[in-house]
Amino acid sequence: MNDCVFCKIIDGAIPSKRYYEDERMIVIADIDPKAAKHYLAMPKKHYKLLSEMTEADRNDLGVIFATIARIAPELGLGNGYRLVINQGDDAGQTVFHLHIHIMGGQVLDFPDLKKA
């Protein structure tokens, strides 16, 4: 997608340090970290929401989750980590290319969500 900042990062048009890369995904540091260690895992294929995924995409996502688990110690997340996927405006999704926040490196509190 031409105007997607994550597609530009994946294609190399916007430089970014890659902590991991394979044929399905890349992992970079979040530019606005919410934890001591905060990374983004991005599928190389563009889709903005889980609902846009095909069956093959869903299989790739399973491999992506397994890869995150495998590389977590290398990312400094050996004591645990949190995965977050924001979906849509109400969830706070700001870049509409599916991505997984990987956060850790500290004890994480669970947010106290306010009821509307």
Tell me the catalytic residues: 99
Task: Mark 88-105 as b/e (b = at least 16 C-beta within 10 Å).
Answer: eeeeebeebbbbbbbbbb
- Quick one: how far is CA 12 from the chain centroid? 17
Q: What angle do CA 49, 15, 36 make, to 5 degrees?
A: 70
